[in-house]
Amino acid sequence: MMARLTTWLDERTGFQQVWQAIFLRKIPKVNWFYTLGSATLFVAMNQMITGILLTLYYVPTPDHAYDSVQYITFQLPAGWYIRGLHHWGASAMVVLVVLHMLRVILYGAYKFPREVTWATGVILLLVTIGFGFTGYLLPWDQKAYWATTVGTRIAGAVPFVGDWILRILRGGNDLSAVTLARFFGVHVWVLPSVLLLLMGIHLFLVIRNGISAVPTRKD
């Protein structure tokens, strides 16, 4: 019965070829450093799931943002756990992406034919940093407010276009309700869309071009 169902689905979807390309492809002998990419993907999925759960209770307005975070942390059942996974997952993702890229550099895995894979990885690092920057303001407490004030001022120090960048980030000259709404929108809509697109391209290229073998010493 299962064999007939599998055959029926495969004739109409070709899922077995996809399964073989992803999970049954040949890979060179590697070490534990090669798991950093998979670990990053796992943490990214954690961030997506916990982030969606947090948006069910978070209110992105200056008069309710802090109270909603307090409610999630101290009153919502398992809210502290979900928020903790999201909070520490953000830091873990930055660390893992950096370590993954260092491994790629040290092993020379950015060379032909993986240059585009490397380029998408660099952009993914920038997106990850963007997640951390936009998400830091969302609790709307004193630490988040003043840290974002400093961060946007640093961006505003760019020659010639600094003032323009500052106003774009803040939605004006000062941090306000517009800033919070803008950071929230970028954090839950813009950056996740870019992340999913780039992750899809990145994983496709990893499967298509394969992974590089561990460098060997030539005497």
Show pLDDT as tens, one digit a residue, over the chain (219 residues): 888 999 999 999 988 888 888 888 888 888 999 999 999 999 999 999 999 999 999 999 999 999 999 999 999 999 999 999 999 999 999 999 999 999 999 999 999 999 999 999 999 999 999 999 999 999 999 999 999 999 999 999 999 999 999 999 999 999 999 999 999 999 999 999 999 999 999 999 999 999 988 888 765
Q: Is residue 216 situated within a structural domain?
A: no
CA distance 33 to 50: 27
CA angle (125 as vertex; 112, 40 as ends), nearest 5: 90
Q: Is residue 95 situated within a structural domain?
A: yes
CA distance 149 to 172: 12
Is the CB of residue 99 less than 8 Å from the CB of residue 37?
no
Domain of residue 129, residue span: 31-209
- What lies within 8 Å, CB to CB, of 173 at 6+ separation is 166, 167
Which of 187, 162, 157, 155 has the alpha carbon at shortest distance from 47? 187
Is the pTM above the cut of 0.85?
Answer: yes
CATH number (domain holding residue 64): 1.20.810.10
What total of structural domains would you count in the chain? 1
